[in-house]
Structure 1
Amino acid sequence: MDQFHHGHHVRLRSPVRGAYLHADEDGHGVSLHGRRDSMNVAWAVHLVEGDDAHYLHLHSAAYGRYLASTTASAPLGHHGLRVEQRNYNHTYETALVWLAILSDSGDEILLQHFNGRFLRANGRYLPWNNGASIDYINDIHHISTMMHWVVEDVPARDTMPPLPPPTGLPFPAAMVPSRVITYAWRSFDGDLLASGTIVFTGRSVFRLREELARRLVVGALALANLGADDIVMCLPTRDGRLFPLLVDLPNSRQSLHVAIAITETPTHAALRFADVDAE
């Protein structure tokens, strides 16, 4: 469809709620939020060729996870089944597959999941119910406008935006949740230059870059006279592409796989930075 271009970012806005589909900070949930200038409401589009249609994967620009269906009931006051963020290597690939269908007006789209249900907003009459879910259409002639979505293109910016500045840990380090970070640095030809696993405390993406720089500086980075500012941490996709990690990590203990790109290299030149501040 014309609204979706492979590798580009979009926002999905509910015209009824006036809010955007939002990747929650726990790295798991999906909800509706009003802010449009947030990386959490930007979704990268992956077009997947089907037998008779182009299907979509929608990849969160914030946490590198995919919009996915579940078989769990939606929370109380919401319709249908839950949707959530799932890892790019999740076992059930069909949970990530969506089909965009143009609305009767032609101004909006409906997102149909592989299981036949449609993505919908909640909270028409109870606005504090701000979750997204999936549900069947009971009457094709009376489709709920809560299943309508306006697609907004998010343009690319020329340079990487600054990372959020580090903040002090609110508790002693021993009390702050930690997670496993697996990292890999490959050449543009795919050769492995460095890799490893660390246990990282806190959420600061700025501090994570500093930590990875310290680990890499004894090797090829030092030989090339490179530092932390030359590192771009990226999140891999199902089809092997990379999207930059630009926000603080989810407030959970979920592990992350980070691919490292170096500025002024072909890998870095291929990255796309979403300009969420653009009008």
Structure 2
Amino acid sequence: MDQFHDGHHVWLRSRALGTYLHADDDGQGVSLRESRASLNAAWAVQQLHHRYDLYLLLRSAAYGRYLAATNTRPPLGHPGFRGFRVAQRSYVFLEVGPIMWQAFGAGPGNDGVLLRDVDGRYLRANGKHIPWNHGASVDEFDHVSNMRHWIVEPIPARQSRPDLPARIRASFLENLSMVMFGRVVAAADRRRRRLVRFVLAANDGAYTEEGWSAFQFTGRSVQHLRYQLANHVQSYNFIMCVRAGLYGTLTPLVVDLPSGRNGDIIEIVLFRNGTPGANALRHPDVDAE
């Protein structure tokens, strides 16, 4: 547990494959990828004292959702997949078993760690002999395999907040729709119509469960989301943080929204620029060497 510092960010690299654990763009899956220069590859560490033990919660720096063990087998057509799937989950209930992990050394002379869930299963990489299998899973401990060994690489904090990505460009059909009807209505966006709930935090970062507002949002563009929020609060002087579940820790939202599903709910807490609450936010420098 010494390699996991509360409030800091880490990369998790498979010792066997050299690839990094990623939060997938759909906001639900988890996979292994070569690149680490992405917020999808960064995980924020939360330490949780539960009864007499210390656990880790690992929160995606992209979407604020937590690395979770499941009891779901992979769908058919995934050769080489071992055990049960891991996923991104919101922190909705106080009973947090699926998102609780403990870290142990991988053995003498081994710089890796083992991550064990509350059911005694270990996080493992898949695809050692099938390179197109980029999955991760949990299964029972195997003393021989090094597919359960993870190298923890600390991510330094950025000195400044990262810029938001450019607004997602409209396709030809979207542009044609805009010319003909004065609006953009794309089939893909219609499938991603979600409810955005938002609240403005006090200067110290505190907020309550009362006083939230809501509107329907279509698409994934974080720039477009910022524009709509600015219209509601009559100001652009804010930082957006996403909350994944009632008990989720706030995560600065600086990437486009996950593809998600129609009907999803996105919760946003707004911090005024320059306030103590905004200044306390930590941004991982995923471009660091």
TM-score above 0.5, yes or no = yes
Q: C-alpha separation between the residues in 2 aligned to 1:266 and 1:79?
A: 46
Q: Which amino acid aligns with 1:256?
A: I
Compared CA separation, residues 67 and 180, structure 1 to 2 (3 A): same
Shift of 1:260: 0.7
- Which of 55, 75, 90 is residue 87 of structure 1 equivalent to? 90
Are positions 1:269 and 2:270 aligned together? no
Partner of 1:153: 154
Structure 2 residue 240 is the aligned partner of structure 1 residue 233: yes
Instruction: Say if 1:189 and 1:111 are closer, same or farther in 2 by CA, change over 3 A.
Output: closer
Which of 232, 246, 252 is the matching residue for 2:254? 246
Alignment-derived partner of residue 268 in structure 2: 258
Which residues of 2 match residues 57-206 of structure 1 at below 5 A?
57-75=57-75, 76-77=78-79, 78-90=81-93, 93-104=96-107, 105-138=109-142, 142-170=143-171, 171-172=173-174, 173-174=184-185, 175=187, 176=189, 177-187=192-202, 188=204, 190=206, 195-206=212-223
Which structure is higher in strand share?
1
109-118 or 246-255, larger mean C-alpha shift? 246-255
The alpha carbon displacement at 1:207 in A equals: 1.2
Using the TM superposition, name which of 73-82 and 257-266 deviates more: 73-82
What's the TM-score, normalizing by structure 2?
Answer: 0.87
Q: Is the 8 A contact 2:68 2:98 kept in 1?
A: yes
Question: Which residues of structure 1 form unaligned runs of 5+?
Answer: 218-226
CA distance in 1, matches of 2:201, 2:211: 7
TM-score, normalising length: structure 1: 0.90
Residues 91 and 248 of structure 2 are in contact (CA less than 8 Å); yes or no, is this contact kept in structure 1? no
The Cα RMSD (Å) is 1.9
Change (3 A) 1:48 1:168: same
Q: CA deviation at 1:106?
A: 4.1
Q: CA deviation digits over 1:158-200, x for unaligned, max 9?
A: 2100000102233543321221111111212735696311111
Unpaired stretches in structure 2, ≥5 consecutive residues: 175-183
Q: Is the 8 A contact 1:209 1:231 kept in 2?
A: no
What amino acid sits opposite 2:155 in the alignment? V
Partner of 2:177: none
CA distance in 2, matches of 1:88, 1:258: 15
Q: How many residues align?
A: 266
Hey, what's the Cα distance between the residues in 1 that align with 2:258 and 2:51? 36
CA distance in 1, matches of 2:280, 2:116: 30
Identical-pair percentage? 43
